[in-house]
Amino acid sequence: MSTIRLIPVLALTLCAGLMAQTKPRARDLGVPFDGKPGPFNAITDVKGVEVGHTTLISGEGKPGVVAGVVRTGVTAVLPRGKDPTDQVFAGWFTLNGNGEMTGTTAVEDLGFLDGPVMITNTHSVGVVRDAVIQWRVKKAPADEEGYFWSLPVVAETWDGDLNDANGFHVKPEHAIHAIESAHGGAVEEGNVGGGTGMICNEFKGGIGTSSRVLDAKFGGYTVGVLVQCNYGWRNQLRIAGVPVGREITDHTVRNDDVGSIIVVVATDAPLIPTQLKRVARRVALGLGRNGSFSGDGSGDIFIAFSTANPGAGLTKGVRELKMLPNEQLNPVFLATVQATEEAVINAMVAAETMTGVNGRTVIALPHDRLREVLKKYNRLEK
């Protein structure tokens, strides 16, 4: 069970895996993509990686009403499941810095990701960060002298166009629930978790994921990507190379490239931090395929980690590591670009029309019209 969805009067707990399997994804609509996905076409195709959401939806979005209209949540990505003690090598990159990802100075200097990657809304970064520390203390208590420290990685995108962002509706228990309910397998996408109130290319956005499996001759490694997308200008949107945003022009909401996107890349390829930073940079090329130019008001921040080299973060003894030569990174780079491109479109396909604060409605990407446009440009796969 991975989602708490708060609806007026009634609170329901939903099974994310079941919901993820009942919604169509971009490939189901005939959108063509390059590369071979893993069995779930998700970041969880990287062994050991788990994803959990807490989704908060309550209040009615009537004109003039902001306070109490809740369209927000938290998403957790756990590199090694619920074991908080085994760090992973990591690297991060900011394409445009109008946003926040805590803990990245430690990632930059030390080369390790310590614990989960959390994603929420802009004004909930602090409470989520503190909640992760509480969870870590419980899972891995301080030593006999009381020594303990943690620098959680918590990222954000702004959901104030649909959510009462200044209502501070995300609480510590919501962050902890996202972590504790995380699971492998199919990942729920669209209006869930931190992506609940997000907008992408002026359609409803949110959480999306995808993966690629490298050919055996390149090691057979898996690269998985998860995005929380809240960026983009409709008239720049391209899907499978087709100018979809110029073909579907109604119900725009921003008319500019504003907002943000957080991207998490996971792989089981044995990479060290400098290589993972290079991988994180390649996310930008995947976003570019979909038409992003990373506008001035956008926080486009990416983190990549490798689940290889378990125990590398232990504090005693000499560690023996494995790593790919730099000359063998091209397939990993390409897989990152391809999976990023598809993860964004999966988020938009899964998202549903939502009405939020002030009665503002953001429409979902219409599946039938998307297929019509792809067919017009001879890009419909089926």
Measured distance CA(377)–CA(174) in Å, rounded: 44
300 is catalytic: yes
pLDDT tens, N- to C-terminus, the chain (382 residues) = 344 555 433 233 344 444 445 789 999 999 999 999 999 999 999 999 999 999 999 999 999 999 999 999 999 999 999 988 899 999 999 999 999 999 999 999 999 999 999 999 999 999 999 999 999 998 877 766 667 788 999 999 999 999 999 999 999 999 999 999 999 999 999 999 999 999 999 999 999 999 999 999 999 999 999 999 999 999 999 999 999 999 999 999 988 888 999 999 999 999 999 999 999 999 999 999 999 999 999 999 999 999 999 999 887 889 899 999 999 999 999 999 999 999 999 999 999 999 999 999 999 999 999 999 999 999 999 7
State the catalytic residue, choosing from 260, 292, 294, 306. 260
| CATH architecture of the domain covering 3-376 | 4-Layer Sandwich (3.60)
CA dist 337 and 262 (Å) reads 15
- Contacts (Cβ under 8 Å, ≥6 apart) of 216: none
pTM, to two decimals: 0.94
State yes or no: is 210 an active-site residue. Answer: no
Order across the sheet with 10-14: list the strands.
10-14, 3-7, 50-58, 70-82, 117-121, 153-157
User: Which residues are CB-contacts of 378 (< 8 A; sequence separation ≥ 6)?
Assistant: none
Q: Where are the domains of the chain?
A: 3-376
Catalytic pick from 181, 210, 298, 306?
A: 298
* Structure tokens belonging to residue 28: 């189901």
Of 45, 257, 300, 306, which one is the catalytic site residue?
A: 300
298 is a catalytic site residue: yes
